[in-house]
Each structure stands twice: as C-alpha cells, then as structure tokens.
C-alpha cells in the first residue's frame, strides 16, 4: 500500500465514528473521494456517495462500506461522578472492563471502564453486562462530571492503530472503516481505469445498529443495477476459532467472495471471473441464511436488486485489537475496480445481471 493510501486508512481508523455519530469520519471519507469523483453527495443522516459518471448505456454499480463502529453511550451520571453506559451496536462485555476509553463530549474526555482488582474479587466471577459497567473520568461527584460530559455522549475505546509484523495492522473500528476505505479506493481505481460503468462509492451509516444507512441508500440510489457491499469477516486462522465449524478464511489469502443468501449468482460469477482475469487471489465463504452485512438490506430494496458481499479477513472482530492484512485490503480495492470494469462490458443489456431461468 503506497503512502497516500495508507495515510487515508490511518486517518479513517483514527477518527471515532460510533453508530449515529459518524460525521467526523464521513468528512475524512468525502474529502478523499472528492479528489477524483465527479461529485460527492450526502443525505440527512450522513450517508456519503461519490460517483464516476460512465457511459449512459452501461450498467450502474455501487461499491459500499459502512463508516460506523461499535461503541458505548453515556446513559446516566451517578452521584459519585461515575458514568453508566449502554451499548452502541454489538459491544462485547468480555473485553470492555479495564480499558481506556474516550467520551466524545464537546471536548474529548478521557476515562477508564472500571475493573475490580483481582485481589478483591470472589473467585471466577461472570462477566458483567455492559449496562452494569461504569466509566471513571476522575470526577469527584456528579456536578464535576456534568461539567465535562452529559447523557447521550458517545464513548469509544482509546486504542489506536499499531503496525504488526509484515503487512498486518491492529486497530479498533477496522469493522468497518476498512470497508469504507476499500469502497473509496475501488472508485478511485475504477476512475483511473476509465471504466464504462457508472460507479457509486458509498460510505453508509448505522450498519451496526440494523443496516439502517443501507436501507436509506438502497431507496435513494434507484438507478443502481448492482450493489457490492464490503465488510469484514471472521478469519479462522487463529488458535481459538473452530475453523471446521466456520469454514476456512485466512489473513493474507485475498478478498473473500460470499456465496448463497443475498449473494446474487450472476454477480458471484462476475466477481470470480474478474478476479481471475486480474490475477487476484480470492477466497470463498458460504452464507446459507444471511451475510450479516449491508448486502442483506440492499438486495431486498426496490423489489430485489442484485447484491454481493465481498469481505476482508479480520481477526478478533468487535474488540479494540482487530487485525487485518493490508495486502487483503488492497486486493479488495483491486477487485472492486475489476468488478466495475467487467460490469461495464455488459453495456446495452436491459437487465445486465438477470438470472437465466
């Protein structure tokens, strides 16, 4: 990954964006995409769309990632100055205690999620639900705490990006600002290749709380012939994952193409052929019931729109230390551009991705 692309990735991962509070990250994304898109638009809730205007007779493809991350929200300020919190999305109660956090008030406030010392605990206590946990910002009482924070402020882990060995990185919120990065980069590479297809790059909001942004975008972009949703998926190459139960997905082995459920068979074949033509290694993953991504919302939009889920292998999802291989991330961006180019070859078809039945 070159220096400019890595700087964009670093900026995205450094910018907090819990669901419902994505504005700052979306600004990073739109500033980048605005350098090469024909136009960039946003809607009332902050979904962002950049477009490459192609041949009017060629298909229109949207490549998407979601900008939001899991987190917490302040739900009460206690008399003794501690903060009670609730979940934003699928925050994991087993990793939250004892972590540094940032409360995103008018000015960021640093704190920690309290964890009783091992000396004072009675044996192997069960993990306490997030709603029973608390943030300590150092305030002496409620009045002092309210000078700095208020109910409804979002909270994220304070962990930053770290380079690991080789091409691998660890950070919080890789799910799914990495996918938003890939959508932006897929568009840039499609523009660079001057593909015939019209290509939308989309950074959606509120995926982690029910695919809300995708439902908005799926209605708004009523001229899209196909959606390709990029998200992370569980890598199964670390010791504590039952690979036999989940299926093999490895870091560094390339993008993951979903099969089944929302994944339209014509798009699956097109993506696999495009990857082969571009000499890109890909992996396959079964989705028997649902993908768990924005693709599930896109494909039922407007009576059925062909959709595909392309994934980035990710270890330790929904923790502060998610790990990916940046070579996989680059591969996803290349695959998106290749899919856009292949879609453009279907120019003139009235229904370019129809299933032959």
Question: pLDDT tens for residues 124-181?
Answer: 667 789 999 999 999 999 999 999 999 999 999 999 999 999 999 999 999 999 999 9
Q: Is 53 a catalytic residue?
A: no
Q: How confident is the model at residue 60 (pLDDT cuts 50, 70, 90)?
A: very high
Cβ(306)–Cβ(224) below 8 Å: no
Distance CA 113, CA 98 (A): 5
Entry field: residues in the chain? 357
- Give, to the nearest 10 degrees, the angle between helix 174-193 and helix 23-33: 20
Q: Give buried/exposed letters for 273-286 (b at 16+ CB in 10 A, else e).
A: ebbeebebebbebe
Residue of 192, 207, 322, 347 marked active site = 207
| pLDDT-derived band at 216, boundaries 50, 70, 90 | very high
Report, in this order, helix, strand and coil percent for the chain, each rounded to 5. Answer: 30, 25, 45
Name which of 93, 45, 95 is nearest 66 in CA terms. Answer: 45
Query: Where in the chain does DSSP place strands (E)?
Result: 39-42, 48-52, 60-66, 71-77, 83-88, 100-104, 108-113, 134-136, 154-157, 162-163, 168-171, 198-204, 226-234, 256-259, 283-286, 307-314, 322-325
Residue 356: the pLDDT is 67
Q: How many CB atoms lie within 10 A of CB 193?
A: 14
pLDDT-derived band at 46, boundaries 50, 70, 90: very high
Question: In this structure, are residues 200 and 62 in contact, taking their beta carbons and an 8 Å threshold?
Answer: yes
Q: Rounded to 5 degrees, what angle do the CA atoms 341, 343, 346 make? A: 120
In this predicted structure, what is the pLDDT of residue 348?
66
Of the pLDDT bands very low, low, confident and very high (cuts 50, 70, 90), residue 4 is very high
Determine the average pLDDT of the residues in 281-302: 95
The single residue listed with the structure tokens 């139960």 is 245
Residue 334 has a pLDDT of 98
What local confidence, expressed as pLDDT, does residue 346 receive?
83
User: What stretches of 60-171 show up as alpha helix (H) in DSSP?
Assistant: 93-96, 142-146
Q: Which residues pair with 120 in a beta bridge?
A: none
Neighbours of 121 (CB within 10 A): 10
Q: Which CATH architecture has domain 3-69+172-344?
A: 3-Layer(aba) Sandwich (3.40)
Indicate the burial class of 70 (C-beta count within 10 angstroms; 0-12, 13-18, 19 or more). buried
Backbone φ, ψ for residue 137 (5° rounding): -100, 5
The alpha carbon of residue 331 and the mean position of all alpha carbons in its chain are separated, in whole angstroms, by 16
The DSSP code for 128 is P
Burial 100-112 (b: 16+ CB within 10 A, else e): ebbbbbeeebebb
Known binding-site positions for Zn(2+): 66, 175, 208, 231, 318
**Mean pLDDT within 268-275:** 98
DSSP-assigned letter for residue 129:
P
Burial class (CB in 10 A: 0-12, 13-18, 19+), 191: buried
At the topology level of CATH, where does 71-157 sit? Elongation Factor Tu (Ef-tu); domain 3 (2.40.30)
What is the residue extent of each domain of the chain?
Answer: 3-69+172-344, 71-157
Taking residue 128's Cβ as centre, other Cβ atoms within 10 Å add up to 15
pLDDT at 241: 84
Annotated binding site: 66, 175, 208, 231, 318
Q: What pLDDT, on a 0 to 100 scale, did the predictor assign at position 240?
A: 86
pLDDT score for 352: 87
Residues above pLDDT 70, as percent of the chain: 97
């Amino acid at each position: 990954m070159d220096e400019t692309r890595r700087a964009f990735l670093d900026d995205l991962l450094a910018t907090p964006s819990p669901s419902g509070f994505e504005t700052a990250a979306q600004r990073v994304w739109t500033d980048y995409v605005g350098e090469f898109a024909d136009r960039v638009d946003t809607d009332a809730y902050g979904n962002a769309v950049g477009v490459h205007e192609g041949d009017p007779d060629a298909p229109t493809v949207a490549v998407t990632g979601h900008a939001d991350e899991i987190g917490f929200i302040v739900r009460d300020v206690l008399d003794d100055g501690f903060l009670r919190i609730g979940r934003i999305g699928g925050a994991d109660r087993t990793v939250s205690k004892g972590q540094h956090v940032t409360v995103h008030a008018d000015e960021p406030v640093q704190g920690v999620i309290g964890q009783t010392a091992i000396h004072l605990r009675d044996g192997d206590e069960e993990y306490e639900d997030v709603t029973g946990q608390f943030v300590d910002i150092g305030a002496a009482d409620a009045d002092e705490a309210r000078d700095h924070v208020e109910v409804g402020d979002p909270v994220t882990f304070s962990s930053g990006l770290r380079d690991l060995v080789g091409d691998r990185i660890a950070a919080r919120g890789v799910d799914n600002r990495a996918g938003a990065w890939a959508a932006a980069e897929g568009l840039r590479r499609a523009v660079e290749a001057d593909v015939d297809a019209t290509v939308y790059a989309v950074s959606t909001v509120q995926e982690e709380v029910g695919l809300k942004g995708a439902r908005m975008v799926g209605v708004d972009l009523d001229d899209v012939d196909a959606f390709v949703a990029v998200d992370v998926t569980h890598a199964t190459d670390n010791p504590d994952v039952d690979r036999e139960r989940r299926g093999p997905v490895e870091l560094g082995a390339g993008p993951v193409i979903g099969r089944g459920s929302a994944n339209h068979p014509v798009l699956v074949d097109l993506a696999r052929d495009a990857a082969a033509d571009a000499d890109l290694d890909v992996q396959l993953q079964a989705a028997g019931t649902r993908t768990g991504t924005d693709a599930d919302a896109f494909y039922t939009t407007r009576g059925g729109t062909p959709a595909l889920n392309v994934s980035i292998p990710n270890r330790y999802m929904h923790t502060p230390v998610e790990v990916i291989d940046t070579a996989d991330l680059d591969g996803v961006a290349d695959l998106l551009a290749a899919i856009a180019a292949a879609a453009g070859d279907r120019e003139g078809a009235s229904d370019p991705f129809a299933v032959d039945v």
